[in-house]
């Protein structure tokens, strides 16, 4: 067993050595022979007509290789950047899906919209030339906020009322019936603040064309290179997939923002053969702010109907969601199937209805960001549950326990489509209360009061749906892609193993976690395993990494392929050991024959597979390499409890998080250290959303928070030492019993923080605060409550 | 960044000569504002005169109740200086809380006050301590030096050589960080000097750093935090942005001032 570093071991990450030593290979590190540099000239206006673009002077500038505009791409028959998920409206009609040209032709629709590509020998020369391009803009009034989008200026002339779709889920009649019987109705209005993703590595692309073979190559900072190849090749540039290679090398963080097919990918790939040389484009940070798809941006009104004892009877929700100027790849699914289907939360609410209206605005497209829809659902539910408890004079923990889905009710069918396979919300709540020392809170609050601080405790009990997902289910809901995963296990003659996975690591640690699965299953040392991902010419068609799916879907595909390898190896061992296949056991990396001392280590079987001197070739193929595709039966359903403790300084409004406990049930855990690291990162983003981060536009559509000078990213000193633990109920439909851990931190934590802030402010009369709860906002709320109390 | 000619003179005299010879020349000190401005193509100087090698612009001396700090002295040098910590610990503390370690090891006192960013820390100390700005041409009282947003009394070709800070009886600086940039949303420097109490406020004012004279009067009568309770801080002429309105900044001026006075005890 000493060889094995298997499931449950917190081994340090294999990939970190090269990252920490600066030896990673990111897209911007790549220099191709003859490479040119691209600069994208972007719109300074939120909304404007382009009367003319004059590139004459710019083309004469030193070092300029070529300049392209939207007219060049349109003339070449370049298609629209596609949306990957069709939403059917409640009247049965398809959503409105206006064109999204990679370079605009005659109108810009958000600050940062792509207007021209300048290709030059150096980036500085491309920028110099860009300043010589004369554009005759005719500014138009802009639609900015989602709340007023329905009546704002039209972003797309053909889309009336800027409406992308009007969609619903659930049983409105059952909800009306429930509300008619309610003892109490709690109402709430919440905004889920718009976020800017801020991956550490900005987006970067290199487009290249091989004149000899006619093959295109795109190097890209993508979370899912095969999806990019499919979308860009088939829908935008009409390049057959066998002539298009997409490589996503080391990628420095994505958080969802690198799932999507971006216009710049198509622009550099399309332009590469025109200039006959590779073209590199790398986003500057300020460009990322105005061109990476943003996250969240919902406004919701919700009402919860309760019986006298606090039992939830019905829940109805009206949500307005911002799509931005164009539909990003999965934008439409986020406020619908990734959000409204989670509105049951961890509760057995029998009747739920949700209506979602999505609108176009003159802002950067909005799409999935860590959690994607599920943080929005969790925030809404956990805020209204706290508010209901307060209004009815019930204990906020008891009202949760009373309404939790019972342990024996799984599999549990919610009224909003999903069927949760497993969970135990009581266990995670109990463990979190214990770790957070809830019992000691009153004493801590009293001690804080002596220092003039308001101390509060906030809960969030949540469930999410990840491990996305069954292709059949998402297909029936409008997804234009499958959501399986692939794996190839290549056993080399001397026993080393290379795994080719369709998952893509951009910080998650797959090279370690997947290698642990291999070590455990094949009984070989971790260092004998290499994980290869991210190159469509090496890896079978895979769907990539997002939605906490790598282990639950990609890991399961790997297990399936390894099982095939073991079965093949067993046949080889049986042949060599001259026994029946059924008599061969495989354990700890050694094949043995029951009842004998015959044994054959895995590496020896591997060698025999490639040196098949006496194989019965009619029964046994040489080689030891297997491939598998895995399509899950269901989503996976991690859940848990987050408890946040804060101290508010009433003089300044500053909220300090002084305690953060997260107990998450992510199913079985392969590498606890990596899982806890993922949860830490998610908590940082969740607390960031709750207290610090917000993308702010002014009325004209300019981004006020266009840099780190105004967009508040969380720093380490914003956090206490997190207390993290896991309770396990196994996923019932995958062999590993795993669920997914990448997003739980960002999904569960924001309402725990805001509920803690409101708990702290209860005594001073504040009953509502919106995210982010900035010092200025908290202080103003306290002053407002004082004024209101003085008036009474 | 546009192309420019780069000069690195070895003395302030040589720097002055370069400025005189090149009308288009700009000074670069630590570059903490200049470099981002250049990178964003917001400035296009034909010549850049880097003062980093001017040894005569560096160093700290304390004598006769005055701390003199060379204009090219880095924040980190001030923050870790035993002389400054001994004479005006509040000034060392202020320097040690500017930006982050990278900024403190590049940014300079002279660069900070010459730029006169309305949210910079040093200008409040200059005003509250009654500092004298020494230049190649003359000596300027801090009162007269900071003339408006990013504006100073400096003339073309004039280079700050040092700042003289009189040692106060007591002083303290309290900064409320803007949540994103961590510049001062409001910073208040309180100094009790032989000539009375002076209160310098940065971050808050629409015209940049200013003295809060009502607080000075109240504190001169009673140097205690509660003396500030009765002072009305008007929100007029205070900054408004997404991080705080004028009423919030007015509140922070009082809160930070009280905390600074408490720190003086």
Q: Are residues A589 and A607 in the same domain?
A: yes
Check residue A206 and give its pLDDT.
Answer: 98
Tell me the residue range of the domain where A777 lies: 424-463+637-792
Q: Which residues of A touch B (CB under 8 A)?
A: 124, 127-128, 131, 286, 651-653, 692, 696, 704-705, 708-713, 774-776, 779-780, 783
Q: Which residues of A56-90 are buried (b: 16+ CB within 10 A; e: fewer)?
A: eebeebebbbbbbbbebbbeeebbbbbbbbebebe
The predicted model gives A752-756 an average pLDDT of 98
Q: Are residues A612 and A642 in the same domain?
A: no
Q: Where in chain B is the domain with CATH 3.30.465.10?
A: 58-166
Pick from B166, B256, B260: which is nearest to B203 by CA?
Answer: B256
CB contact under 8 A, A651 and B255: yes
Total count of domains within chain A: 4
| Annotation: CATH topology of B5-50 | 3.30.43
CB contact under 8 A, A710 and B243: yes
CB contact under 8 A, A652 and B243: no
How do residues A258-278 score in pLDDT, each as one tens digit? 999 999 999 999 999 999 999
Residue of B nearest to A652 (CA): B252
Q: Residue A313: in which H helix or E strand, if any? A: strand A312-324
Domain boundary among A597, A630, A663: A630
Q: Are residues A400 and A325 in the same domain?
A: yes
Residues 6+ apart with CB under 8 A from A790: none
Backbone angles phi, psi at B183, to 5 degrees: -70, 170
Q: Residue A229: in which H helix or E strand, if any? A: helix A225-230
CB contact under 8 A, B1 and A124: yes
Q: Are residues A152 and A129 in the same domain?
A: no
Q: Are residues A563 and A650 in the same domain?
A: no
Q: Are residues A83 and A132 in the same domain?
A: yes
How do residues B40-67 score in pLDDT, each as one tens digit? 999 999 999 999 999 999 999 999 999 9
Check residue A469 and give its pLDDT.
Answer: 80
Is residue A522 domain-resident? yes
Check residue A676 and give its pLDDT.
Answer: 98
Check residue A1 and give its pLDDT.
Answer: 46
Taking the C-alpha atoms of residue B75 and residue A27, their distance in angstroms, rounded to an integer, is: 37
Q: What is the CATH number of the domain that holds A256?
A: 3.90.1170.50
Q: Where in chain B is the domain with CATH 3.30.43.10?
A: 5-50
How do residues B171-193 score in pLDDT, each as one tens digit? 999 999 999 999 999 999 999 99
Share of chain B above pLDDT 90, in %: 98
Strand A529-533 with A497-501, pairing? parallel
Closest CA–CA distance from residue A710 to any residue of chain B (Å): 5
Q: Which residues of B touch A (CB under 8 A)?
A: 1-2, 40-41, 176, 179-181, 183, 241-245, 247-248, 251-252, 255
How do residues A65-121 score in pLDDT, each as one tens digit? 999 999 999 999 999 999 999 999 999 999 999 999 999 999 999 999 999 999 999
Residues 6+ apart with CB under 8 A from A442: none
Q: Are residues A573 and A428 in the same domain?
A: no
Q: What is the CATH number of the domain that holds A326?
A: 3.30.365.10
For chain A, what is the total number of helices (H) and then of strands (E)? 19, 28
Question: What 3-state DSSP class applies to A289?
Answer: helix
What single-letter DSSP state applies at residue A460? E
Which of B1, B179, B248 shows the shortest C-beta gap to A712?
B179
Q: Are residues A131 and A272 in the same domain?
A: yes
Check residue A2 and give its pLDDT.
Answer: 58
How do residues B243-259 score in pLDDT, each as one tens digit? 999 999 999 999 999 99
How do residues A251-263 score in pLDDT, each as one tens digit? 999 999 999 999 9
The predicted model gives A613-637 an average pLDDT of 95
Is residue A24 domain-resident? no
Q: Are residues A554 and A613 in the same domain?
A: yes
Residue of B nearest to A703 (CA): B242
| Annotation: CATH topology of B170-264 | Enolase-like; domain 1 (3.30.390)
Q: Which residues of A728-760 are buried (b: 16+ CB within 10 A; e: fewer)?
A: bbebebbebbbbbbbbbbbbbbbbbbbbbbbbb
Q: Are residues A262 and A343 in the same domain?
A: no
Distances (CA, A) of A484 to A468, A469, A549, A664, B196: 8, 7, 10, 25, 75
Domain boundary among A406, A438, A471: A406
Is residue A103 domain-resident? yes
Check residue B207 and give its pLDDT.
Answer: 95
Q: Which residues of A touch B251 (CB under 8 A)?
A: 651-652, 779
**Average pLDDT taken over every residue of chain B:** 97
Backbone angles phi, psi at A32, to 5 degrees: -90, 150
Taking the C-alpha atoms of residue B142 and residue B123, their distance in angstroms, rounded to an integer, is: 8
Q: Are residues A622 and A504 in the same domain?
A: yes
Domain B58-166 maps to which CATH number in 3.40.1030.10, 3.40.1710.10, 3.30.465.10, 3.20.20.140? 3.30.465.10
Taking the C-alpha atoms of residue A244 and residue A727, their distance in angstroms, rounded to an integer, is: 45
Token readout for A10 is: 């917190």
CB contact under 8 A, A775 and B244: yes
The predicted model gives B79-95 an average pLDDT of 98
Q: Is the pLDDT of residue A617 over 90?
A: no
The CB density around residue A610, as the number of other CB atoms within 10 Å, is 14
Token readout for B160 is: 């700050």
Taking the C-alpha atoms of residue A653 and residue A167, their distance in angstroms, rounded to an integer, is: 39
Q: Are residues A175 and A215 in the same domain?
A: no
Taking the C-alpha atoms of residue A129 and residue B204, their distance in angstroms, rounded to an integer, is: 40
The CB density around residue A29, as the number of other CB atoms within 10 Å, is 13
How do residues A586-609 score in pLDDT, each as one tens digit? 999 999 999 999 999 999 999 999
């Amino acid at each position: 067993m000493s060889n094995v570093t298997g499931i449950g071991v917190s081994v340090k990450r294999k990939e970190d050595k090269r990252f920490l030593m600066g030896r990673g290979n990111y897209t911007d590190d790549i220099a191709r022979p003859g490479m040119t540099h691209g600069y994208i000239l972007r719109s300074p206006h939120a909304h404007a007509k382009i009367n003319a673009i004059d590139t004459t002077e710019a083309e004469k500038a030193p070092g300029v290789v070529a300049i392209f505009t939207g007219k060049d791409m349109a003339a070449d028959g370049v298609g629209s950047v596609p949306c990957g998920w069709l939403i059917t409206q409640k009247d049965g009609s398809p959503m409105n899906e206006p064109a999204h040209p990679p370079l605009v032709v005659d109108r810009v629709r958000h600050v940062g919209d792509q207007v021209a590509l300048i290709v030059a020998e150096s980036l500085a020369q491309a920028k110099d030339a860009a300043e010589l391009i004369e554009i005759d803009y005719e500014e138009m009034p802009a639609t900015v906020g989602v709340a007023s989008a329905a009546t704002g200026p039209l972003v797309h002339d053909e889309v009336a009322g800027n409406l992308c779709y009007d969609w619903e889920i659930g049983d409105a009649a059952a909800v009306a019936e429930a509300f008619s019987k309610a003892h109490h109705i709690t109402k709430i209005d919440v905004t889920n603040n718009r976020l800017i993703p801020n991956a550490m590595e900005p987006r970067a692309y290199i487009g290249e064309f091989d004149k000899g073979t006619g093959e295109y190559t795109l190097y890209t900072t993508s979370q899912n290179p095969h999806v990019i190849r499919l979308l860009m090749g088939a829908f935008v540039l009409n390049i057959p997939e066998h002539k298009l290679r997409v490589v996503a090398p080391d990628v420095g963080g994505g958080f969802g923002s690198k799932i999507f097919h971006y216009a710049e990918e198509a622009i550099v790939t399309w332009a590469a053969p025109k200039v006959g040389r590779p073209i590199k484009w790398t986003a500057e940070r300020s460009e990322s702010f105005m061109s990476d798809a943003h996250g969240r941006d919902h406004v919701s009104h919700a009402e919860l109907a309760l019986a006298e004892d606090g039992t939830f009877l019905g829940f109805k929700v009206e949500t307005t969601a911002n799509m931005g100027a164009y539909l990003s790849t999965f934008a439409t699914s986020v406020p619908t199937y990734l959000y409204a289907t989670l509105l049951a939360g961890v509760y057995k609410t029998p009747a739920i209805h949700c209506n979602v209206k999505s609108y176009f605005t003159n802002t950067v497209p909005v799409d999935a960001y860590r959690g994607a829809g599920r943080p929005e659902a969790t925030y809404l539910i956990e805020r209204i549950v706290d508010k209901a408890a307060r209004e009815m004079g019930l204990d906020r923990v008891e009202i949760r326990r009373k309404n939790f889905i019972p342990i024996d009710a799984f599999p549990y069918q919610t009224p909003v489509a999903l069927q949760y396979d497993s969970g135990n919300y009581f266990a995670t709540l109990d463990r979190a209360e214990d770790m957070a020392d809830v019992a000691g809170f009153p004493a801590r609050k009293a001690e804080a009061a002596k220092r003039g601080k308001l101390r509060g405790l906030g809960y969030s009990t949540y469930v999410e749906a990840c491990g996305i997902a069954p292709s059949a289910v998402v297909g029936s809901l409008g997804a234009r892609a499958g959501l399986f995963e692939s794996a190839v296990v290549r056993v080399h003659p001397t026993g080393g193993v290379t795994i080719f996975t369709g998952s893509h690591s951009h910080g998650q640690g797959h090279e370690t976690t997947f290698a642990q699965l291999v070590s455990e299953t094949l009984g070989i040392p971790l260092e004998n395993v290499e994980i290869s991902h991210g190159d469509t010419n090496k890896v079978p068609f895979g769907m990539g990494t997002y939605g906490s799916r790598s282990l639950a879907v990609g890991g399961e595909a790997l297990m399936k392929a390894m099982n095939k390898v073991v079965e093949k190896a067993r046949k080889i061992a049986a042949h060599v050991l001259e026994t029946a296949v059924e008599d061969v056991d495989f354990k700890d990396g050694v094949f043995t024959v029951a009842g004998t001392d015959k044994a054959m280590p895995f590496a020896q079987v591997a060698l025999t597979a490639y040196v098949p001197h006496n194989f019965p070739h009619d029964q046994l193929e040489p080689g030891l390499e297997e491939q598998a595709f895995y399509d899950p039966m269901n989503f996976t359903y991690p859940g848990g409890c987050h408890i946040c403790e804060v101290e508010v300084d009433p003089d300044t409004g500053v909220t300090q998080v002084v305690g953060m406990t997260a107990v998450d049930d992510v199913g079985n855990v392969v590498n606890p250290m990596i899982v806890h690291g993922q949860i830490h990162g998610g908590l940082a983003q969740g607390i960031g959303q709750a207290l610090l981060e917000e993308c702010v536009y002014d009325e004209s559509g300019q981004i006020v928070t266009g840099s780190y000078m105004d967009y508040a990213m969380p720093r380490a000193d914003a956090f206490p030492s997190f207390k993290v633990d896991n309770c396990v109920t196994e996923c019932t439909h995958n062999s590993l019993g795993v669920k997914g851990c990448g997003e739980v931190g960002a999904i569960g934590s924001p309402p725990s923080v805001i509920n803690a802030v409101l708990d702290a402010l209860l005594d001073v009369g504040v009953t509502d605060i919106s995210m982010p709860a900035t010092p200025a906002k908290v202080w103003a709320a306290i002053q407002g409550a004082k004024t209101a109390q003085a008036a009474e | 960044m546009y192309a420019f000619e780069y000069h690195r003179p070895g003395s302030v005299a040589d720097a002055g000569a370069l400025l005189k010879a090149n009308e288009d020349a700009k000074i670069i000190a630590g570059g903490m504002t200049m470099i981002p401005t250049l990178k964003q193509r917001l400035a296009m100087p034909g010549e850049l005169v880097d003062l980093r090698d001017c040894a005569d612009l560096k160093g700290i001396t304390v004598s006769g109740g005055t701390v003199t700090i060379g204009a090219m002295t880095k924040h980190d040098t001030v923050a870790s200086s035993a002389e400054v910590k001994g004479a005006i610990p509040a000034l060392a503390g202020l320097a040690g809380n500017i930006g982050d370690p990278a900024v403190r090891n590049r940014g300079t006192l002279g660069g900070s006050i010459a730029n006169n960013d309305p949210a910079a820390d040093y200008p409040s100390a200059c005003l509250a301590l009654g500092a004298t700005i020494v230049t190649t041409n003359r000596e300027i009282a801090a009162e007269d030096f900071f003339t408006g947003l990013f504006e100073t009394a400096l003339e073309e070709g004039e280079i700050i050589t040092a700042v003289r800070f009189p040692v106060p009886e007591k002083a303290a600086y309290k900064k409320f960080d803007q949540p994103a940039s961590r510049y001062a949303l409001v910073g208040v420097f309180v100094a009790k000097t032989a000539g009375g109490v002076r209160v310098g406020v940065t971050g808050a004012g629409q015209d940049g750093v200013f003295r809060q004279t009502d607080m000075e009067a109240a504190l001169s009568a009673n140097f205690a935090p509660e003396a500030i309770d009765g002072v009305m801080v008007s929100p007029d002429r205070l900054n408004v942005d997404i991080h705080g309105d004028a009423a919030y900044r007015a509140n922070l001026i009082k809160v930070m001032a009280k905390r600074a006075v408490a720190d003086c005890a």
